[in-house]
Structure 1
């Protein structure tokens, strides 16, 4: 675990050097859904930090469903798109991820980045976008248990 994160059995918080949380990752108790919630401005470094932590969790206990909430993200994180497409997505797919529910941000620049990410990842996962976490989670639950 990196010195900027705290981990317990079901939740990880990743923090910037100056202490604010930029990503919180938690797992539903049945292990079928991992929920990643992102906060504030994201950079290539923070996207990679959160992405690598998700991959680590995936390898420890695989899951097929990810709820990726970008509702509180501001600004673009497009400098990380190539890494997400060429490194993160293939590794997550190989490890078992199949379904990605994206909660879109209110920031227009962050929304444009999410749309670019979805275009790049559309062949790797079944992806749907939502305005709120409840609808995103309902869709993932509706898929049933996936082993």
Structure 2
């Protein structure tokens, strides 16, 4: 899928190896198409990194289209969970609209069959701390499975 015009300037992403997470930051307000494209680029990035945590800085996003939120909950988040992400922290603006939207999104994730733990906050430092605490306190079954399969204890040849 080709990039919608200007999309690459709307976000940045990097690995934070210290906390086993990917940090993704929206740098501008995406359209619905740009939102899905950026989210799918993030999904591919996460799949190639095998990280347990994801921090999304959405402070530059003033509103989400309802259809984009539905897609995020129903289609995208289960794919993120399947990629091994167990914890998602979202940094939002410190205002009533953003808090209300994040609380509704948090409730949707709690009801979803397959979704990582979700932590909305208006403080980037709190998001990073929350992910770091999860990474230190839990060794995921996914990562144990990845490790055991890498040992090749059994040979079927």
TM-score (norm 1): 0.76
**Which residue of structure 2 lines up, in the alignment, with residue 10 of structure 1?**
none
Q: By how many angstroms is 1:24 displaced?
A: 1.1
- Structure having the higher helix fraction is 2
- Match in the other structure for 2:58: 70
The equivalent of 1:130 in structure 2 is 121
Q: Which residue of 2 aligns with 1:39?
A: 27
Is residue 103–residue 120 contact of structure 2 (8 Å, CA) maintained in 1?
no
The 1:71/1:84 distance shift into structure 2, 3 A limit, reads same
| 1:1-147 to 2 correspondences below 5 Å | 2=2, 4=3, 17-18=5-6, 21-30=9-18, 32-106=20-94, 108-122=96-110, 123=112, 124-143=115-134, 144=136, 146=139, 147=143
What CA distance in whole angstroms lies between the structure 1 residues aligned with 2:82 and 2:7? 33
C-alpha distance 58-19 of structure 1, shift in aligned 2 (>3 A): closer
1:31 Cα deviation from its structure 2 partner:
7.3
- The verdict on how the C-alpha distance between 1:36 and 1:30 changes in structure 2, with shifts beyond 3 A counting, is same
- Which ranges in structure 1 are unaligned for 5 or more consecutive residues? 5-15
More strand by share: 1
| Higher Rg | 2
